[in-house]
Amino acid sequence: YAPSALVLTVGEGESAAAATPERAVTLTCAPRPSGTHPVAGSACAELRGVGGDVHALTATDGVMCTKQYDPVVVTVDGVWQGRRVSYERTFSNECVKNAYGSGVFAF
């Protein structure tokens, strides 16, 4: 099997360079879900559903969030099936972050 191991971080701010990570977890999806991610199984299933393309994660339908601007930045770095992954996204607030990648970003 090709390795699938990621490090995910979340912090307050408009960019990873400006934010101090508040939480960081590891997620390994091959040969089986593991790591410090609290819902590794569902996070791996969600990533498998988009072929490991974190950019392809979409918002869950029906989630209602306020328009409050309190930016939260998420990073994902590592490998997915042997392919390098590097992702950074700033969400307008925690609720919006939680609407995307409900399993992946649930840490």
Q: Is residue 104 part of a domain?
A: no
Total domains present in the chain? 1
Q: Is residue 105 part of a domain?
A: no
Q: Is residue 26 part of a domain?
A: yes
CA distance 29 to 27: 6
Q: Is residue 16 part of a domain?
A: yes
Structural domain span for residue 91: 5-99
Is the confidence at residue 26, as pLDDT, over 90? yes
CATH number, domain containing residue 10? 3.30.350.10
Q: Is residue 106 part of a domain?
A: no
| Alpha helical stretches, state H, 6-57 | 40-49
- Work out the number of other CB atoms within 10 angstroms of the CB of residue 107: 18
Interval 28-58: pLDDT, tens = 998 899 999 999 999 999 999 999 999 999 9
The pLDDT value recorded for residue 101 is: 77
Is the confidence at residue 81, as pLDDT, over 90? yes
Q: Is residue 107 part of a domain?
A: no
Q: Is residue 86 part of a domain?
A: yes
